[in-house]
Amino acid sequence: WSLAVEEQFYLFWPLVVRYMPRRGLAILCLVLLAMGTGLRNMTDHVAGNEFSVAAYTFTFCRMDGLTAGAFVATALRLGWIQQLPYKFWIARILFCWTGWEILQIFIHGTEHRLYTLSPILFACLLLLALNPNVRGATRRVCENAFLQHLGKYSYGLYVFHHMFEYAWKRGFGDWLLHSGWHPVLAQSAYIILAFAGTYLLARISWVLIERPFLRLK
């Protein structure tokens, strides 16, 4: 479903970028950012379920995640961010705050605000990665060889991580979460093992499927 959401977005967004003035585009991004949260709450209310499938998968309910990066790009082109004093410190504070809040959500259970906090977290990360200072910590982290290596197999990681979620859960997830370990330790072990399995599948997919198709270019 997430690939479908992205495809629907990219079908119309290039036209919006092409024909809409940049200032209007930035305002539209902010409207869509706010709309995502509002629509999720409204959809859940209509569905009578706090975490309805519709609110999780409906394209317009996920617009905040799609347009956060678009707003950063547009604001940079307009010079808004460059004129903002202490912009990188603001981004660092927001990144740390949203990161801490998201960590608490993962520890204590899913909450609706996760879907609002995540776009803010990654928008701040994007801005920090664009720091013109080549010695900036975030930029160096994002440009390190390990992350570039993961980027090579990122499509497989993206496709398989949810596809095999239930296999990992049944294979070792349930045992870990009910093993009596501290929740943070159990969840950390589960994440590491699930990532290792997904990474292996992504490598196999790259060799057998993706690389042969890329050779057809």
Q: What is the pLDDT of residues 140-194, one digit of tens each?
A: 888 889 988 998 998 888 888 877 777 777 777 777 777 777 777 878 888 888 8
Same domain for 114 and 180, yes or no, is no
Would you say 94 and 120 are in contact if contact means Cβ atoms under 8 Å apart? Answer: yes
Cα radius of gyration (the chain): 19
Domain boundary among 143, 164, 183: 143
Same domain for 117 and 86, yes or no, is yes
What token pair was written down for 52?
A: 């309805």
Domain boundary among 117, 143, 169: 143
Same domain for 41 and 126, yes or no, is yes
User: What pLDDT does residue 115 have?
Assistant: 83
User: What pLDDT does residue 94 have?
Assistant: 93
Same domain for 56 and 95, yes or no, is yes
Domain boundary among 143, 173, 203: 143
Range 175-184 contact pairs with CB under 8 angstroms and sequence separation of 24 or more: 183/107, 184/107
Global pTM? 0.74
* Owner of token pair 């095999």: 164
| 202 pLDDT above the threshold of 90 | yes
Residue 149 lies in a domain: no
Residue 194 lies in a domain: yes
Note down the domain range covering 161.
154-214
Q: Convert the pLDDT of each residue in 39-79 to its tens digit.
A: 888 888 787 777 777 777 888 888 888 899 999 999 999 99
- 178 sits in which H/E element: none
Same domain for 8 and 38, yes or no, is yes
Task: Give the mean model confidence (pLDDT) for residues 91-118.
Answer: 85
User: What pLDDT does residue 1 have?
Assistant: 66
User: What pLDDT does residue 18 have?
Assistant: 92
Same domain for 198 and 123, yes or no, is no
Using 50, 70 and 90 to split pLDDT, how confident is the model at 26? very high
Same domain for 179 and 203, yes or no, is yes
Helix (H, G, I), strand (E, B) or coil at 130: coil
User: What pLDDT does residue 22 have?
Assistant: 93
Q: Convert the pLDDT of each residue in 113-148 to its tens digit.
A: 788 889 999 999 999 888 887 777 888 888 889 988
Would you say 190 and 172 are in contact if contact means Cβ atoms under 8 Å apart? Answer: yes
Same domain for 178 and 127, yes or no, is no
Same domain for 116 and 180, yes or no, is no
Residue 203 lies in a domain: yes
User: What pLDDT does residue 60 have?
Assistant: 84
Using 50, 70 and 90 to split pLDDT, how confident is the model at 86? confident
Residue 148 lies in a domain: no
Total domain count, the chain: 2
What token pair was written down for 93?
A: 């504070």
Residues 6+ apart with CB under 8 A from 213: none
